[in-house]
C-alpha cells in the first residue's frame, strides 16, 4: 500500500518538464549505462576475474575496443547519475506522500 502511495506521489510531483517518476527512471538508466560501460571496459582490458599472467612470454592480449573511451563514457554516465540523484533528493525531501 505504501509503495502505491509513493509511486502515485512521484507521478504527480513535477520535475523540470516531466514528473519525479520520469526523473527516477532516467537516473536508473544512467546507473545501468555506467555499469554496462564499466563491465565492457573491464572485459576489453582483460580485467575480468581469474585473468593473470605468469611471465612475459605468454600470449599477449590486445583490447579490440577503445577501453579509455569506454571508461570516459562510464565516468560521464556516473557523473550524470550523481547530478540527477542530487536534484531528485533535493526535490523529494519536502514532498509529502499522498
Helix axes 20-45, 2-12, angle to 10 degrees: 100
Alpha-carbon dihedral 47, 50, 55, 56, rounded to 10 degrees: -20
The per-residue b/e assignment along 55-79, b for 16 or more CB within 10 angstroms, e otherwise, is: eeeeeeeeeeeebeebbebbeebbe
**pLDDT tens, residue by residue, 38-73:** 999 988 887 555 555 666 666 666 777 899 999 999
**pLDDT tens, residue by residue, 70-91:** 999 999 999 999 999 999 999 9
Amino acid at each position: 500500500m505504501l509503495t502505491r502511495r509513493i509511486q502515485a506521489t512521484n507521478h504527480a510531483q513535477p520535475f523540470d518538464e516531466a514528473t519525479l517518476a520520469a526523473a527516477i527512471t532516467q537516473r536508473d538508466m544512467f546507473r545501468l549505462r555506467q555499469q554496462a560501460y564499466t563491465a565492457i571496459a573491464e572485459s576489453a582490458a582483460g580485467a575480468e576475474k581469474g585473468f593473470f599472467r605468469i611471465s612475459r612470454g605468454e600470449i599477449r592480449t590486445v583490447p579490440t575496443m577503445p577501453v579509455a573511451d569506454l571508461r570516459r563514457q562510464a565516468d560521464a554516465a556516473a557523473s550524470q547519475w550523481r547530478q540527477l540523484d542530487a536534484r531528485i533528493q533535493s526535490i523529494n525531501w519536502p514532498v509529502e506522500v499522498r
